[in-house]
Chain A
Amino acid sequence: MSATENLKLDEATQKELATFLEREQAQARVQQSIHTFTSLCWDKCITGTPSTRFSRGEESCLSSCVERFLDTSIFLVKRIEQQRESMMGPGSS
């Protein structure tokens, strides 16, 4: 049973809610990533005692950290695909 079937709503409303839920879930995934990155990058970049503001080095470390993490993800996927292709031999996929 879908999430909205139990609620006795007409089909049009059900569809609208399904679309709405999809969008909210996509947004929730983005939020979750932000939590993960903040935690990771805080540990990497904010090494001393917290002060009353970030230094410029700390600020740029935080944004570089996010960018490099995403680059890492892209790089690793490419490597994995290359390895798959070299394992399966030419002319196959």
Chain B
Amino acid sequence: MQARKEAIMNQVRSELALSNAQELINKINEKCFTKCVTKPSTSLSGSEETCLSRCLDRYMEAFNIVSKTYTSRLSRERLE
């Protein structure tokens, strides 16, 4: 019984983590394509790839900043 319960809990946790990661990747794809690939041509240029790499790093950083700001606001106000 204990093992089944643990297994279910772990499955829920990993599915939620996966879905979260998926959403982040989709957002990055959308935002960075919009910013960096302004005129789609027959392949990605070197500068487009550089832009995309930077954009990826910046978006993850933005996500972390937003996450910190939001969670501290939540604990300050106990909103949910």
Contact = CB atoms under 8 A, between A and B. Distances in A.
Given A10-B1, A20-B9, A62 B58 contact: no
A7 interface: yes
Interface residues of A, number: 40
Nearest to B74: A30
A39 to B, nearest CB: 6
A50 B65 contact: no
A72 to B, nearest CB: 13
Contact of A62 (B1, B9, B65): B65
B70 A41 contact: no
Contacts of A30: 70-71, 74, 80
A76 interface: no
Contacts of B5: 9, 13, 16-17
A49 interface: yes
Given A13-B1, A35-B27, A21 B12 contact: yes
Of the candidates A13, A38, A66, the one having the most CB atoms from chain B within 10 angstroms of its own CB is A38
Interface of A: 4, 7, 9-10, 13, 16-17, 20-21, 24, 26-35, 37-39, 41-43, 45-46, 49-52, 54, 59, 62-63, 65-67, 70
Q: Which 10 A-B pairs have the closest CB atoms?
A: A50-B55, A50-B54, A63-B69, A66-B69, A50-B58, A38-B66, A62-B65, A38-B63, A37-B66, A34-B67
